[in-house]
Amino acid sequence: MGPIMLDVSGYELTPEDRELLDHPLVGGVILFSRNYYDQKQLKELIAQIRLAARNKILIGVDHEGGRVQRFRDGFSAIPAMGAIYARSDENLSQAQQYCNTFGWLMAAECLAFDIDLSFAPVLDLNGVSDVIGDRSFHAQPEPLIQLASEFIKGMHRAGMKATGKHFPGHGNVKEDSHIAMPVDSRSLEQITQLDMQVFSRLNDMGLLDGVMPAHVVYPQVDDMPAGFSKVWLQTYLRQKMQFDGVVFSDDLSMQGAAFIGDFAARANAALNAGCDMVLVCNNPDAAAQVIDSLPSELPINPRLAKLAKAPSADFDALIKTDAYTAAQRTLEAYYN
């Protein structure tokens, strides 16, 4: 399974898509709203992708709920994670039940279409960041851990691995790393006690299968953004936290990655820092540039294969299950 995850252009594969997917370095595809018309088309597109790929690959999507949900029509409307606690009248155990059910429901629906991963949940604190905002479960570490752990348990119950983002925490910077280079000037102690505590506690509970680092610079710790930093990825994540799951780069097309250099430089820097897989989205030329810049054969990374989905029911079978009916009732109760 190669170290590059890229995207495809539309509802079906183009010849250019097929050519890229046939490269030995391609190990994943991330889907966007532009890849979804209806359920039948999605099913066909994913079958085409699996067929065109040279390797066994991971298919991922950002399907967190709320404003970040790529497939809408025909899929359950998963609420924004930040709304759940308030909607439960700040009753933590009620909110936890909702999180567990919605984690299961989101994962079960994606798995039913042969999608391996939804890049979820967001583990950032709801601080000053507009781009995080209601994608975050809570503003404080303790309730966030309680809610996120249930969401992940729901995902795991469905058969999907969880990817926590954005390590070590994106909630305390105002800038959006899609369009700017955010800088978080707090001390390591502050970051460790607040934001990073969420990741380390969930990791200690055995709940984190993957992590996506933030395109944020924490100058008190290192002058490189976390996703390109050996200090963050090797010293803190791998050694101190003892994390042994997959590290995905955030999208290398984002502005927060730009100061590293061109796309080839970004991919090499991320892989050298300790990322297992790099995402190159919304820029096929950049994906080709990255592929051309890397050795055509890299050692097999056994971590990546662990994230592949187990066999699961297709959508027609899923909606007939008691668990699905119960989850729909819970969703209805949540909104009413």
Q: 305 phi and psi, to 5 degrees?
A: -60, -25
Of 7, 62, 209, 250, which residue is the catalytic one? 250
Q: Which two tokens stand for residue 222?
A: 């290192």
Q: Which residue, 99, 115, 209, is CA-closest to 162?
A: 209
Contact (Cβ atoms closer than 8 angstroms) between residue 132 and residue 170: yes
Q: Sign of dihedral through CA atoms 160, 324, 134, 94?
A: negative
Q: Known catalytic residue: 138?
A: no
For 190-245, the DSSP string reads HHHHTHHHHHHHHHHTT--SEEEE-S-B-TTT-SSBGGG-HIIIIIIIIIIS---S
Contact (Cβ atoms closer than 8 angstroms) between residue 5 and residue 58: yes
Question: 179 burial class (0-12, 13-18, 19+ CB within 10 angstroms)?
Answer: exposed
Coil, strand or helix: which one is 177?
Answer: coil
Q: What angle do CA 276, 310, 97 make, to 5 degrees?
A: 95
Q: Which residue has the tokens 């950049």?
A: 286
Q: 47 phi and psi, to 5 degrees?
A: -60, -40
Q: Known catalytic residue: 178?
A: yes
Q: Which two tokens stand for residue 326?
A: 């119960």
Q: Which residue, 194, 200, 195, is CA-closest to 239?
A: 200
Residues 6+ apart with CB under 8 A from 140: 125
Of 22, 38, 178, 204, which residue is the catalytic one? 178
Q: What is the distance between the alpha carbons of residues 111 and 116, in angstroms, rounded to a whole number?
A: 6
Q: What is the distance between the alpha carbons of residues 219 and 70, in angstroms, rounded to a whole number?
A: 34
Q: 120 phi and psi, to 5 degrees?
A: -150, 160
Show which residues are catalytic. 178, 250
